[in-house]
Amino acid sequence: MEAASIQARGTRPATLTALQSFASRYGLIIVLAALPVAFAVSDLLGGHGLTHIFQNLKDGVSNGAIWALVAIGYTLVYGIIELINFAHGDVFMIGSFVSFGIWGTLGVTLTTTTLGVAGGLVVAGLIAMVACGALNVMIERVAYRPLRGAPKLAPLITAVGFSFILQNVGLEWLGGSPHGVDDLIRAQHVLFTIGGVHIINADVLAIGVTVPLVLLLVGFVHGSRLGKAMRATAQDPEAARLMGINVDVTISLTFLLGGLMAGAAGLIYALYNTTVWFQQGFEAGLIAFTAAVMGGIGNLQGAVLGGVIIGCIQQISDDRINSTWTPAIVFGYLILIMVFRPQGLLGEETREAG
Amino acid sequence: MSSVRHFFGSIGDTWDGLPPMVRRGIGVVALVLLILLPFAFTAGGSFIDNATRALAYAVMALGLNIVVGFAGLLDLGYVAFYALGAFTIGWFGSSFYAQVNHGKGIHVGVTGVVGTLPGVHMNFLLVLVLAVIVCAIFGVLIGLPTLRLRGDYIAIVTLAFGEIIGRVAINGDSLKPFGYAVTAGRQGITPIDSPDLPGLSEFGPLNLRPWYWMALGMALLVLFVNFRLRDSRLGRAWIAVREDEVAASSMGVPLVRTKLLAYATGAAFGGMAGAFFAAYLNTVNADQFEFSFSIFVLAMIILGGLGSIWGVVLGAIVLSYINTYFIPNTFKSLPHKVGLNFDLTDLSFGIFGFLLVIMMVLRPEGLLPERRRKLELTEGIGTGEAELPLEVTVP
């Protein structure tokens, strides 16, 4: 059976082989570009110009910055222990809740001065990051480490279990319906306009927090000694252990970094959307996981790229199709990518995808 | 925990030690007791209600057990088949498509008032068969893309399919491929025809006994099929694929067919239970097809023991009772007693999540473990050093 198919592939005409390699290299990019290009063309044909689609893409990029931060958590953890940290989306949700709670405690409201708001947000952001980092490390310690030698199903199931526990924590914390957040940064306030595209405060916040954090993280992973240990563990845990790397500490560190990013993303999400609720994490988790797979799981830059692309797809779908269908469209992309290009845009072949 | 293990272990050993005649006798007595059980309780009471639900959940859990427990393919989108089964009866057993046949309706094997209503009305048994067929086809369709994937990627793809079907269920009222809406959206399809079977008294909300017998019959059928499948060539192929896909394939197990049959069989049972639930609850409500339902069923088979048929039945009964009886009744006042102010029913899924974590960490083989599974799960845990035994021993 297997031999026959290999032979069949060998005897195919050269044009077909060339077509196949073209499809496997650019197919995903074409599929991803289809949605924006289709709407851009229809806008042009309708005589509306490109402002609308640029506006969509701008919203997509700033929204995607949040997904990128969450996706980094998935990709780091998957890169190092090949586990889909299912609870990560809910850690992000807890990040939103913590930052919301902190500025409530600090007494930051709409009437606070600009300086006060800025200070309060910095404090809330830092606390949310630390809280999420600690939470993620705790989850690893309790739910994943005891199962490191077990079949892969086992830690995945505990991950799902923790996801539900955190969702219930969120449910008890702020109740079952979306909870409004004070619009502290006047998110929709237009700061300036480039070529008809309005740049609002929320965009500046999302990009302004994400870019430095991602740069810091990439610098840490590629430059520092601990980052080197992380990369070594990701390549081969056994060999890393033999080289004197404390694998357990390195894995905890990875979860810590992922949690820090999720905490920051939680803060931005709360300010950006001005609502938080306990189910935001489940959907965000799946979207961010899609982003991580799209970029090539285990690849930091890929996660950021995937986050931005998913953000754009989501915005276009929300704006042009119908927001009730957006999850289905994102999941459709997820399935297409998983099936046809599981290594993603920038990734290598993984053992899973093999 | 170890005393629990000892308790269940000794039960299993004692059972195996009994002569076959005695075992068969006990089985028959248990069966007769199960059939007569409803007469001991009020016909419309909560006991029969809970028991019926538990049996229907057992059917569902036994279906998922084939995919996850036998074949080792982690399916996180099992709710898709609950939805499809429920919609099958929504389409073919209600007045949802009232305009078909110029408002006169289509009737197959139904009698009484239902026979005069508009819409498509088929006999409940026919609908069950249809649900099985529809779900088996969809099981294969959802299984096909996962064939090349392994492990957690399968989980994510099935989850995504489950979510997409949930979305279609919610938004289906605006989808009209042939002028007929696919679903009724959040409004839900209601009422659903009650089964109308010869030999059983009238199915209705006040007399739950026939529902119980129906569920019992389905559970027994599925149990029988499960046992026969497990001991068949196909069942051994499933277990071989679970243990080691590459080894199974090189031993001549056809991977594609084996995996697709697992998906199809599991889906078929899910659809059967889905159609039953829709008729029992008298509604197809799009909002109930959520990811958490998949996890609820998964928790049943994890609790009972992946791959262990009796374990799965036990897990389904225990979790169903926790869900329908203990959380709303017995434990409801618990938080108030310890001075906390929250509603425990909100926390049911957190409790199931907690159960998943605890079971996986402390007793991954479940309450009534399958022997082979137990060996597989316990080797290498806790040592930390024995993560990759193959790499170490093979030069």
Contacts 24+ apart (CB under 8 A), B227-236: B227/B309, B229/B66, B229/B70, B229/B265, B230/B70, B230/B309, B234/B258, B234/B261, B235/B70
Q: Are B322 and B332 in contact (CB under 8 A)?
A: no
d(CA B309, CA B305): 8
Rg of chain B over Cα atoms, rounded to whole angstroms, equals 22
Quote the DSSP letter at residue A12: S
CB-based contacts of A315, cutoff 8 Å, min separation 6: A56, A57, A59, A60, A63
The two beta strands, A275-276 and A179-180, are: antiparallel
pLDDT band of A345, cuts 50, 70, 90: confident
Residue B345: list chain A partners with CB under 8 A.
Answer: none
Task: Note the ipTM here.
Answer: 0.82
Cα dist from A221 to A26, A232, A299, B265, whole Å: 29, 11, 11, 46
The number of beta carbons lying within 10 Å of the beta carbon of residue B220 is 15
Nearest CA in chain A to B295: A160
d(CA B70, CA B376): 13
Q: How far is CA B250 from the centre of its chain?
A: 32
CB-based contacts of A63, cutoff 8 Å, min separation 6: A206, A272, A311, A314, A315
The reply to whether A83 falls in a domain is yes
The 3-state secondary structure of chain B, one letter per residue:
CHHHHHHHHHHHHHHHHCCHHHHHHHHHHHHHHHHHHHHHCCCCCHHHHHHHHHHHHHHHHHHHHHHHHHCCCCCCCCHHHHHHHHHHHHHHEECCCCCHHHHCCEEECCCHHHHHCCCEEECHHHHHHHHHHHHHHHHHHHHHHHCCCCHHHHHHHHHHHHHHHHHHHHHHHHCCCCCCCCCCHHHCECCECCCCCCCCCCCCCCCCHHHHHHHHHHHHHHHHHHHHHHCCHHHHHHHHHHHCHHHHHHCCCCHHHHHHHHHHHHHHHHHHHHHHHHHHHCCECHHHCCHHHHHHHHHHHHHHCCCCHHHHHHHHHHHHHHHHHHHHHHCCCHHHHCCCCCCHHHHHHHHHHHHHHHHHHHCCCCCCCCHHHHHHHHCCCCCCHHHCHHHHHCC
d(CA B213, CA A59): 57
Residue A169: list chain B partners with CB under 8 A.
Answer: 350
Looking at residue B387, what is its pLDDT? 40
Do A354 and B150 count as a contact with CB atoms less than 8 A apart?
yes
Average pLDDT of the residues in A237-266: 94
Euclidean distance between the first and the last CA atom of chain A, given in angstroms as a whole number: 18
> Shortest CA distance to A214 belongs to which of A249, A260, A250?
A260
Do B156 and A338 count as a contact with CB atoms less than 8 A apart?
yes
Looking at residue B392, what is its pLDDT? 37
Residue B160 distance to chain A (closest CA, Å): 5
Strand partners, A199: A192
pTM exceeds 0.90, yes or no: no
Do A148 and B387 count as a contact with CB atoms less than 8 A apart?
yes
Cα dist from B330 to A147, B325, B327, whole Å: 33, 7, 6
Q: Are A291 and A63 in contact (CB under 8 A)?
A: no
Q: Are B73 and B79 in contact (CB under 8 A)?
A: no
The reply to whether A293 falls in a domain is yes
pLDDT band of A259, cuts 50, 70, 90: very high
Secondary structure of residue A139 in the 3-state scheme: helix
Residue B161: list chain A partners with CB under 8 A.
Answer: 331, 335
Looking at residue A117, what is its pLDDT? 87
Taking one residue from A and the other from B, the number of pairs with CB-CB distance under 8 angstroms is 163
Looking at residue B373, what is its pLDDT? 65
Q: Are B110 and B76 in contact (CB under 8 A)?
A: no
Higher pLDDT, B272 or A117: B272
> Shortest CA distance to B48 belongs to which of B201, B239, B205?
B205
Quote the DSSP letter at residue A150: S
Higher pLDDT, A117 or B15: A117
- Residues A181-211 as b or e (16 or more Cβ within 10 Å = b): bbebbebeeeeeeeeebbebbbbbbbeebbe
d(CA A156, CA A166): 15
d(CA B39, CA B45): 11
Tell me the pLDDT of chain A averaged across its residues.
86
Nearest to A149 among B76, B152, B384 (CB): B384
Nearest CA in chain A to B142: A335
Looking at residue B270, what is its pLDDT? 95
CB of B314 less than 8 A from some CB of A: no
Residue B33 one-letter amino acid: L
Secondary structure of residue A345 in the 3-state scheme: coil
Nearest to B170 among A162, A324, A353 (CB): A324
Do B291 and A282 count as a contact with CB atoms less than 8 A apart?
yes
Structure token pair of residue B19: 């002569």
d(CA B169, CA B189): 11
pLDDT digits 0-9 by tens, A63-72: 999 999 999 9
Nearest CA in chain A to B294: A160
Mean pLDDT in each 10-residue stretch from start to end of chain B (395 residues)? 60 76 88 88 85 94 94 92 94 86 81 81 91 95 86 86 91 82 85 80 81 93 93 93 90 93 95 94 88 89 89 92 80 68 71 86 83 63 41 37
Do B384 and A148 count as a contact with CB atoms less than 8 A apart?
yes
The number of beta carbons lying within 10 Å of the beta carbon of residue B209 is 19
Q: In chain B, positions 227-286, which contact chain A (CB-CB < 8 Å)?
A: 254
The 3-state secondary structure of A244-288, one letter per residue:
CCCHHHHHHHHHHHHHHHHHHHHHHHHHHHCEECCCHHHHHHHHH
Angle at B226 between CA B224 and CA B230, to 5 degrees: 120
d(CA B256, CA B246): 13
CB-based contacts of A82, cutoff 8 Å, min separation 6: A152, A350, A351, A352, B152
d(CA A42, CA A36): 10
Q: Are A197 and A214 in contact (CB under 8 A)?
A: no
Range with the largest mean pLDDT of A10-14, A107-111, B277-281, B347-351: B277-281
Strand partners, A192: A199
Looking at residue B117, what is its pLDDT? 83
Residue A338: list chain B partners with CB under 8 A.
Answer: 145, 149, 153, 156-157, 160
Identify the domain containing residue A146 by its residue range: 51-340
Residue A154: list chain B partners with CB under 8 A.
Answer: 360, 364, 377
d(CA B53, CA A138): 37
Looking at residue B390, what is its pLDDT? 40
Quote the DSSP letter at residue A325: T
d(CA B333, CA B327): 9
CB of B16 less than 8 A from some CB of A: no
Q: In chain B, positions 106-145, which contact chain A (CB-CB < 8 Å)?
A: 145
**What CATH number is attached to the domain comprising A186?**
1.10.3470
Q: Best interface-test mutation with A: which of B68, B156, B175 has the largest number of A CBs within 10 A?
A: B156
> Based on the structure, what is the number of domains in chain A?
1
pLDDT digits 0-9 by tens, B270-320: 999 999 999 999 889 888 898 889 988 998 998 888 889 999 999 999 989
Rg of chain A over Cα atoms, rounded to whole angstroms, equals 21
Q: Using the structure block, give the residue that is written with the tokens 């499960």.
A: B226
d(CA A265, CA A261): 6
d(CA A344, CA A340): 9
Q: Are A289 and A297 in contact (CB under 8 A)?
A: no
The reply to whether A176 falls in a domain is yes
Residue B369 distance to chain A (closest CA, Å): 15
Cα dist from B212 to A169, B82, B361, whole Å: 36, 19, 36
Looking at residue B377, what is its pLDDT? 61
Q: Using the structure block, give the residue that is written with the tokens 């096909």.
A: B144
Structure token pair of residue A283: 């959907």
CB-based contacts of A247, cutoff 8 Å, min separation 6: A233, A237, A240, A241
Looking at residue B172, what is its pLDDT? 87
Nearest to A161 among B76, B356, B391 (CB): B356
Q: How far is CA A231 from the centre of its chain?
A: 20
CB of B382 less than 8 A from some CB of A: yes
Q: How far is CA B359 from the centre of its chain?
A: 19
